Amino acid sequence: MLLADLGAEVIKLERHGRRREIVDALQKIFNSKDRDTWVELLKQADVPVAPVQTLAEVIVDPHVAKRELIVEMEAPSGECLKQIVFPVGLSQTPGTVRTRPPELGQHNRDILKSLGYSENEIADFKKDGIL
| Per-residue pLDDT, 87 | 84
| Per-residue pLDDT, 10 | 61
The residue extents of the domains of the chain are 3-44, 53-100, 104-131
Instruction: Calculate the CA dihedral of residues 56, 60, 63, 67 and round it to 10 degrees.
Output: 100
| Per-residue pLDDT, 1 | 47
The residue type of 87 is P
Dist. CA 128–CA 73, nearest whole Å: 34
| Per-residue pLDDT, 89 | 81
Low-confidence ranges of the chain (pLDDT < 50): 1
